[in-house]
Amino acid sequence: MPIRARLTVWYSAILAAILVALGLFVTLRVNADLMRRTDQALALTADELSTDFSTTGGENEFRDVADASLAGLPRDRSFAQLLSPAGAVEDWSGVGVARTIALSPNQLSAAGRGERRPGRISRSGQTYRTLAVRFPNDSAGQVLVVGTSLAEVNESTWRLIVWLLAACPLGLALAAVGGWWLAGASLRPVEQMTREAAEIEASRLSRRVPVPAAKDEIHRLAATLNSMLERLEASSEAQRRFVADASHELRTPLTAMRAEIDVSLRSRDLTDDAREALTSAADQVGGMTRTVEGLLTLASLDAGKLALFPETLDLRALAEGVAASLSILADEQGVRVRVEGPAAWVMADHDRMLQVLTNLLDNGIKYAGRNGTVRIETWMNGVEAGVVISDSGPGIPPGSLPHVFDRFYRSDPARSTGQGGSGLGLAIAKDIVAAHGGRIWAEGDTDGGSNLHVALRSVARSR
Ligand code: ADP
């Protein structure tokens, strides 16, 4: 689950728990308050009634006095009772139900002892709050009970619960939407940074993620990411410089070696063995020189220092030139090279594209096998122009397809070294094509062989 959803779920769950607890607390509190007020009203009524009844000295009927005293309570829901010490109703006033209401023996005896403990009685579907008091100057031990229905209290409490049940989910939903939005807003810089960081390739370590102005966690994350990129860039630059320096240092002695071997080979008094050894050494030095040249080219491509001089080029004409220059190699291998397709105009550096096509055709000829064929076909549409170099060789094993453009990758090391491959040809081709903003890819052919594709943005011939 994304952080945004997780945050919202947690936040909503905690808020829901708080709302439930708060709702419960408010309901209980309000109910207790209403109850306290009811008890106060009952106590007031009971006191007034007993005072009135005793001051009139029993001249008036209990009912008359009670009627007057009950005025402080909801008339149609309250009552007063005069109970005998045994708990029998001697007289009553208010709602008719008071005729039958009786205190429990416990309540009665508590009242008899002078305790003023509020009670609760349920009769005919109604709950009444009651207060039983002993008549102060009554030696006969009569008990006065005043009661009032709790319907109003219950109704108010229920109304509150209904309101809370309606308002809380609505509030919760609003808070969840707000939380979702807020989480999204605070995570947006992180998402943006992720996108930017994902776009930073090994070849473009000079790029940095944007650092927000506010000095918060996101600012620190961006700054940390950037300082890490800086270190990466420095170490990759050091590595590149090492490769470039080493290749550069190796180039001169290799050239000298090659020259010396060539001079030695010209000598007439060489034994056959010595000549063979020198020829093999010359081949090895040639291979090493190619590797060193390749490494130098890659180092300059990595540094973005390979100067490109783009011009309007016809890939077909270029392919014909490459085919002609490699014709000796092709003849040696007994490979037939065909160039087909229309003129394909692109804007590219002539020498670099020549290098790309040479590397690809060189591979094609090497892998096509004795008496094989290599076909170079150009194509062009309104957007792109390119070439496909197909050979009749064994093709690239599917497992190697994703790696053939990696440096020093060889799907069959034994075979490639024997053929003087450095494992850098396709890597160089890929980097040159990438520097032109083009695409290069390899495909297997259904009837064996491999297809190497290059596509660049096409231009009109007139340019
Ligand atoms: P190499 O100098 O070894 O040819 P490349 O970079 O040119 O190095 O090619 C890398 C690897 O890709 C080769 O070793 C080979 O395994 C494979 N490969 C390239 N071109 C072809 C092809 N036309 N047919 C089969 N395999 C190929």
pTM of the prediction?
0.63
The CATH class, in words, for 217-302 is: mainly alpha
- 83, 80, 85: which is closest to 66 by C-alpha? 80
Specify the residue with its C-alpha closest to ligand 1, atom 27: 396
CA dist list (Å): 355 to 184, 312, 410: 50, 16, 19
183-194 in b/e burial notation, b at 16+ Cβ within 10 A?
beeebebeeebe
- Residue 346 CA to chain centroid, in angstroms? 41
pLDDT recorded at residue 463: 47
Each domain of the chain, given as residue ranges in start order, spans 3-157, 217-302, 310-457
Give the single-character DSSP code of 326. T
- 155, 114, 153, 149: which is closest to 130 by C-alpha? 149
- % of the chain residues with pLDDT over 70: 95
Q: Which of 290, 391, 396, 433 to mutate to test the pocket of ligand 1 (most atoms within 8 A of CB)?
A: 396
422 lines ligand 1 (CB under 6 A): yes
- Measured in angstroms, how far is the CA atom of residue 411 from the centroid of ligand 1? 7
Is 109 in a helix, a strand, or coil? helix
The CATH class, in words, for 3-157 is: alpha beta
**DSSP H helical ranges for 56-141:** 62-69, 105-112
- Measured in angstroms, how far is the CA atom of residue 365 from the centroid of ligand 1? 11
Q: Which of 297, 388, 416, 433 to mutate to test the pocket of ligand 1 (most atoms within 8 A of CB)?
A: 416
How far apart, in whole angstroms, are the C-alpha atoms of residue 272 and residue 269?
Answer: 9
Highest mean pLDDT among 28-42, 136-150, 208-222, 397-411: 28-42
409 lines ligand 1 (CB under 6 A): yes
pLDDT at residue 232 tops 60: yes
φ, ψ of residue 402 in degrees (nearest 5): -70, -10
- Measured in angstroms, how far is the CA atom of residue 136 from the centroid of ligand 1? 116
- Measured in angstroms, how far is the CA atom of residue 423 from the centroid of ligand 1? 7
Domains 3-157 and 217-302 share a fold: no
Q: Poorest-confidence range of 127-141, 160-174, 265-279?
A: 127-141
364 lines ligand 1 (CB under 6 A): yes
Is 356 in a helix, a strand, or coil? helix
Quote the Cα angle for 77-78-84, to 5°.
Answer: 140
Spatial CB neighbours of 317, under 8 Å, sequence gap ≥ 6: 343
Structure tokens at 371: 């008496």
Specify the residue with its C-alpha closest to ligand 1, atom 12: 404
Residue range 67-116, pLDDT digits in tens? 888 887 887 888 888 888 888 888 888 887 788 877 888 888 888 888 88
Q: Which CATH architecture has domain 310-457?
A: 2-Layer Sandwich (3.30)
CA end-to-end span of the chain: 54
Q: Are the beta carbons of 287 and 420 closer than 8 angstroms?
A: yes
Closest ligand 1 atom, residue 426 Cα? 6
User: pLDDT class for 323, splitting at 50, 70, 90?
Assistant: very high
pLDDT recorded at residue 414: 60
Specify the residue with its C-alpha closest to ligand 1, atom 8: 423
Across-strand partners of 157? none
How far apart, in whole angstroms, are the C-alpha atoms of residue 334 and residue 3?
Answer: 63
Residue range 194-226, pLDDT digits in tens? 888 888 877 678 888 888 888 888 899 999 999
Q: Are the beta carbons of 299 and 247 closer than 8 angstroms?
A: yes
pLDDT at residue 59 tops 70: no
pLDDT recorded at residue 85: 81
